[in-house]
Copies of this chain bind each other. A is one copy, B any other.
């Protein structure tokens, strides 16, 4: 998963893009980057592995002039955590530099890449976003926007794009609208961001979310709507609302916090836990769901698990892997809350089941009498091909186990998943359509038949660069 941000007609754009990326850090902690375009149409880039606050310094931001800029935060995907995949990508383009930040995943990237390579294109990264850049560069159309259109006609899957050609900023959302993008006004300019929390931090006022298929062009402080992409059924990603977005954001027209609260209430309705002493969340992603569960069930809310926020990227777990479970690094139960109690534990979802199992053991060891585990979303039975980093079928516990088996595996007294109907009910009068393929198997596109080709070049991050 990724976060994107764009700015037009904002003095010292780099600084605002930095702030925006910082607010979107939860959408990707592997790498981040910013590209600005100055008044002479020269692009300035800085990209690196790591957190936004570690990557950028005042000196670096000051060395990136320009009132136009885009930024990107990238999520860690196993096996391809390399600096050359950091975005935004920029190329020296005949009408000025073209820079692009992509949120989503192209489902036909592998075959497009094979075709491009056979025609002499050279790939520097294993990222599917580079395919887009090559398609644009190779288009025989003469006007840049036509070239982009040529490229978009060939790609399938999920793409929310923030891109610049020279000093013109574009925002594009694919026709199904998997990933969000919101337009905001900031002083005499505009910003684009994956979520409203990034508008808040820079002090921008939300104008509106881009609709599926929408394409806008921002020159200075003028926003122009370009002809939309060919319409397709809307497929907003429901997992954005369940887990991915920040609770203080408004995504797909809904408050994430309010949506999660409603899931918690539905969960309490579908899977009550009569006689339980208290309910608590697995912090922080399911806080709102636990509150909703408490509200509907009347079971007392507690803070039964404390999360250590200092984990960072570099925590090592020396000689602990077998004895102390990995979850213990992140979570610790409050003994006085759970000891001798019948507790309801609310989580947002169950992916591999390993963390949940460890948590259950910890809570049990802290003295809980009964543990009733509740998932605020249905069993995840298939991977996501549209940008969420869920694992393959084999690793998804609900793809290989029945709910009863999971119940046994976790070692809980009861287990309840929100039903697919319950989840769909929570969004049904929305006026848009959602993708819930990871729960339902109803993939809105053809899906890649096999694993993408392994790259034949492995360029690791330099240990030191001076």
Which residues of A approach B to under 8 Å, CB–CB? 12, 15, 18-19, 22-23, 25-26, 29, 41-63, 83, 90-94, 96-97, 117-124, 133-134, 137-139, 197, 200-203, 246-248, 250, 255, 257-258, 287-288, 291, 295, 300-303, 306, 308-316, 318-320, 323-324, 328-329, 332-337, 454-466
Of the candidates B200, B315, B336, the one whose C-beta lies within 8 Å of that of A53 is B315
Residues of B within 8 A of A122 (CB): 91-92, 121-122, 133-134, 137
The 5 closest A-B pairs by CB, nearest first: A120-B138, A255-B336, A15-B318, A248-B306, A48-B462
Identify the closest chain B residue to A63 (Cβ): B460
Residues of B within 8 A of A288 (CB): 303
**A47, A139, A309, A318: which has the most chain B beta carbons within 10 Å?**
A318
Residues of B within 8 A of A118 (CB): 94
Chain B nearest Cβ from A247, distance in angstroms: 6
The answer on a CB contact under 8 Å between B255 and A55 is: no
Of the candidates B203, B291, B463, the one whose C-beta lies within 8 Å of that of A60 is B463
Residues of B within 8 A of A19 (CB): 318, 320, 324
The contact sample of 26 A-B pairs, CB cut-off 8 A, is: A15-B318, A15-B319, A25-B308, A42-B454, A42-B456, A42-B457, A44-B458, A46-B460, A48-B465, A48-B466, A51-B310, A52-B310, A55-B464, A58-B318, A59-B463, A61-B318, A83-B465, A121-B121, A121-B122, A122-B122, A197-B332, A203-B323, A246-B332, A248-B306, A255-B334, A461-B466
The answer on a CB contact under 8 Å between B138 and A117 is: no
Chain copies in the assembly? Answer: 4
The answer on a CB contact under 8 Å between B301 and A291 is: yes
Of the candidates B22, B29, B55, the one whose C-beta lies within 8 Å of that of A329 is B22
The answer on a CB contact under 8 Å between B43 and A456 is: yes
The answer on a CB contact under 8 Å between B457 and A461 is: no
The answer on a CB contact under 8 Å between B312 and A51 is: yes
**In the complex, A295 Cα to B94 Cα: how many Å?**
60
Identify the closest chain B residue to A254 (Cβ): B336
